[in-house]
A and B are shown apart, each in its own frame.
Chain A
């Protein structure tokens, strides 16, 4: 627990927490409990790295640590040489749409695609170039053209939707490199990122007949999963957060289409037809449970998502696709504060800025100000705590009880937005004659 902590990781964590966001790196330093959930996900990632597939819905309330958990999983995936594409859903980014929202989600995923060496996204050119470099090396060795090796490698992708054009685009990238044609390379990357909005443009730029559109978004992800494996990575993990945005869709048809897409993904994952592709979705309880608007409103998903009926009374079965994150308890929060204090002190207990009693006093202070919300939705309270630590660090002689009295903590109301449903829609419309 008290192992040496790298200053870089410490800074990443502290900066993120201070800004009120989930850290992108070093999450493992402040992870509290949840061994079983993490073990489950690690096993999933191992399966993806072995060419398998996985599908998980991570359900937790606002503040329960869904995003933190997703980021942790993402970090673990990167360590396991899995390419991670992550995105938050929003009204303009959905799994299924006809107005470009699905393509928009795909584009966002591709923008955020990360590898271990490029954990902050933008890794797509690197992945493509790595593939081409390998192919080039092989071509040189075999004395044939790089393009033919590429075509040969991508041959079995051509059976899939958009597979032929995908191979063409990779070949075009290769060509662009060989010819020093940066425009061609940029167009190829644009195509791969789903940034072409019309087929005409794509044809003019790359000579391909298709583009990544709303309908082919998931197929494109499957292609990409196979491609990254060809490029030498373990597989592709697609991490989608804020699934509650699907729940918030007012249009039942749109909602159901998205749930149908989820069902398709789920079926592919459970049947093993997707290769090296994992999905992890984060959502709130109502997104899962609401029998009118949630996943449970889609009959085909009900049975697949419900828990093993034998897993009751302390027996656990994490093989079901739903992973539940319990909201934090005061005890969880207390241990979390201990962890943060430890990270702040770079894992050296002698450098702890606050005694345990100080942590307790801080919790009491927050409890008096905010009630139970302080540990259930800890974003603002953690920020305050990090601020307190910063002041104590910079003023070694400061008296912590005195500081605590004047510390301001604000309630975290971000969760309210989760419950707002889109206005309008076609349900229960009222009209007057």
Chain B
């Protein structure tokens, strides 16, 4: 009975316990399960730690100064487990066979190799693959991908996170699949958890810190890989820059690689690209420090690299949209502000230091170096100056950015180009500019707006702002434009001509804002109006106006050059008189007078003024409010001057002002001598006509007398009074009678003539004409009374 009661008690206890357990609430059970799980994890972790703890190497603190003959590889740990590099086969059954690596060998997959792991084809390499690769500390290499390890065969939609010190062999097959997927996808997946990045980084780190070591068997290949690894790091930093924990080690590794590859002094070459992370890479700090040490101005590229370490560098909207342009503008502006470069001085005792902490702790290769160069990264003033430059560069970029936001196409064309300084133009556009500049060196030339924009690869007409931009761009490229759009305020049409010529710094709008220049301009324009009256401005007209510009020596030579360009422009596009009217009317009288003279001269340099030209000149004189009579006088004076003299033509000595007033009377003795000569010539010429020789032959003998008189002709000759042998008998007899008295009345002479059957007037005409021939003077003078020329008689008697 007691046994029975003992068994019954035990049953009762069991029932009681079950009842108690059932009474425990569900939440308590859940809590207990959680606590158990934590306890197991802690146990496992502690156990693992104890196991690895004995093999954990101490960190090697290496302090080094980068010097030309120093060996950067001395920073590396000496203990190393070297992998065997195996070239992967590239053939496959379908012409692209991807071999599976030997399970016994571990190797670095080169960047141009493709490998197949668990069905994934992985391009791009840059990781270790195979079996048996040990870390320097003797542990299994965490980044090594053994192809034999199990990989999940199914899709893993949820990417499991990894610890920050991962190892491939410890990963879950799901995680391996995720990693292999990421590798095969070109390491591009933006949503990959950061742990996988650390895993990949560990491999790179080993390649850099172990394989590239001087005493490594693979130093040659690994050293060749360094630039590729640096580029990969840049790529990853750009892609995964948002993962803050990843940035610092990746950047440090990049920094290390660049430092390893660099040669002293660092500032001589443009610094390598470092992603903008807010940290100043040691490379940059060292380069800057060397600049300070060597007292060398900071080169633009280094200044840019320094400025870019400022987190605000790309913070503006234009900067974010066009970072490369901002870089270029920064360099351009930096050059403008600092010319040779910014000289940094500091008394800081802080030295440039570089500390590299391993991601892959198994490598035992931390770096902690200090260089003998001052660390200027803490200086405020230089950075502030660079910040100002950056701000100005951003300011320069803003208009372009705004245009690009509104009209993307226009920003890409000349319109956009013109919003940027020529210094940051693309190479092709800069070459176009250089070609233009070269062309102006030959001499000013005419080009239409259409051809000009075509030259710069644009097809559409620019608006006024863009034309101003083009003018400014040309000016900065050493090419000046006429007309000056800024000064005229009018944008030319697409077919309007422009003149391009070499720019000179003195040719400023202020230098041209003088009455002298304006007067000169107006003179040329008026000259062009007149010269174009006959349709074209020909070479002589151009020459006269050109030499006129040369004579205006009161104008600076820069202004004269622009005036010559303007003249060329006028030769293809003359203004209208109406357009000049207002300005002409405003001139004082002496200026208008000199302009009148000048236009009359211009009209005649290509020969006598044509009626068309005169019509235009008449209008010009009307506009000038000058008397038209003066025009004719001027035209006549110039025309006679052109014909008779080689003296320079009259033209205004000073643009916009009258000619010099006549001073004291002065005679040109050379001209007098010339005139004497001319006068002597003309006197000789006239003397031949007016003063006959002593015994000339009769110019025209009288008609022969009739046949009956022919025999008596000699007698008549013999009896010819006063040697007038050309007279016939009747006239000779008349003369003989005439000589009887010194003076006759007309009536008496009429009677006398009638006795010889002569008509008096005809007879006198005949007699005197003959007398002129013989004696060079008439026989009779006067009509009534008629006197006999006593001088002739005296002369004859002698």
Contact = CB atoms under 8 A, between A and B. Distances in A.
Given A31-B682, A134-B703, A326 B644 contact: yes
Interface in B591-611: 605-611
Given A38-B682, A76-B686, A141-B707, A296 B761 contact: no
Contacts of B728: 137
Nearest to B760: A129
A127 interface: yes
A367 B666 CA distance: 11
A183 interface: no
B770 to A, nearest CB: 10
B683 interface: yes
B610 A39 contact: no
B340 interface: no
Contacts, number: 198
Contacts of B778: 116-117
Contact of B665 (A28, A290, A330): A330
A324 to B, nearest CB: 4
B671 A331 contact: yes
A79 B643 contact: no
> Counting chain A CB atoms within 10 Å of each CB, which of B608, B705, B728, B757 scores highest?
B608
B660 interface: no
B765 A307 contact: no
Contact of B678 (A33, A134, A292, A299): A33
Interface stretch (A195-203, A264-272, A311-319, A385-393): A311-319
A232 interface: yes
A312 B646 contact: no
A324 B540 contact: no
B662 A325 contact: no
Contact of A79 (B631, B635, B689, B768): B689
Interface string A290-309: 11101010010010001111
Contacts of A285: 632-633, 635-636
A126 B762 contact: yes
A140 B706 contact: yes
B511 interface: no
B629 interface: yes
A87 interface: no
B632 A290 contact: yes
Most buried by B among A116, A133, A326: A133
Interface in A1-50: 1, 3, 28, 31-36, 38-39, 42
Interface in B763-791: 763-766, 768-769, 772, 778, 783
A327 B637 contact: yes
Contacts of B42: none
Interface in A135-158: 136-138, 140-142
B485 interface: no
B646 A3 contact: no
Contacts of A284: 632
Contact of A324 (B640, B682, B764): B640
B681 interface: yes
Interface stretch (A103-111, A209-217, A235-243, A332-340): A332-340
Nearest to A331: B671
Contacts of A126: 761-762, 764-765
Contacts of A141: 705-707
A60 B636 contact: yes
Contacts of A95: none
B690 A79 contact: yes
A59 B686 contact: no
A38 B759 contact: no
A81 B632 contact: no
Given A60-B636, A134-B703, A306 B610 contact: yes
A360 B667 CA distance: 9
Contacts of B759: 129, 132-133, 177
A137 B607 CA distance: 56
A324 B628 contact: no
Contact of A133 (B606, B667, B758): B758
A60 B644 CA distance: 14
A351 interface: no
B678 A324 contact: no
B449 to A, nearest CB: 35
B667 A334 contact: yes
A33 B610 contact: no
A312 B671 contact: no
A387 B325 CA distance: 92
A140 B730 CA distance: 13
Nearest to A365: B665
B384 interface: no
A100 interface: no
Contacts of A363: 665
A411 interface: no
B687 interface: yes
A293 to B, nearest CB: 10
Given A115-B765, A285-B632, A326-B641, A35 B614 contact: no
A75 B686 CA distance: 10
A122 B641 CA distance: 39
B618 interface: yes
Nearest to A116: B772
Contact of B699 (A81, A130, A131): A81
Given A28-B683, A126-B765, A306-B608, A324 B639 contact: yes
B608 A31 contact: no
Interface in B378-394: none
A75 B690 contact: yes
With most chain A CB atoms within 10 A of its CB, the pick from B641, B672, B683, B778 is B683
A32 B671 CA distance: 12
B607 A326 contact: no
B703 A137 contact: yes
Given A311-B607, A329-B671, A335 B540 contact: no
A296 B614 contact: yes
A133 B607 contact: no
Residue among A3, A38, A285, A310 with most chain B CB within 10 A: A285
A403 interface: no
B796 interface: no
Given A127-B765, A360-B665, 4 more contacts: A116-B769, A126-B761, A137-B703, A330-B665
Please name the 5 residue pairs, one residue from A and one from B, whose CB atoms are nearest each other, closest first: A129-B762, A141-B706, A326-B640, A307-B608, A117-B768
Interface of B: 540, 605-611, 614-615, 618, 628-629, 631-633, 635-637, 639-644, 646, 662, 665, 667-668, 671-672, 675-676, 678-683, 685-687, 689-691, 699-700, 703, 705-707, 728, 757-766, 768-769, 772, 778, 783
19 contacts: A31-B679, A32-B678, A33-B678, A35-B685, A38-B685, A38-B686, A61-B637, A116-B772, A117-B772, A128-B761, A129-B759, A133-B766, A141-B706, A285-B633, A291-B618, A292-B618, A302-B610, A316-B643, A364-B665
Interface of A: 1, 3, 28, 31-36, 38-39, 42, 59-61, 72, 75-76, 79-81, 115-118, 122-123, 125-134, 136-138, 140-142, 177, 232, 284-286, 288-292, 294, 296, 299, 302, 306-314, 316, 324-327, 329-332, 334-335, 339, 360, 363-364, 367, 372, 419
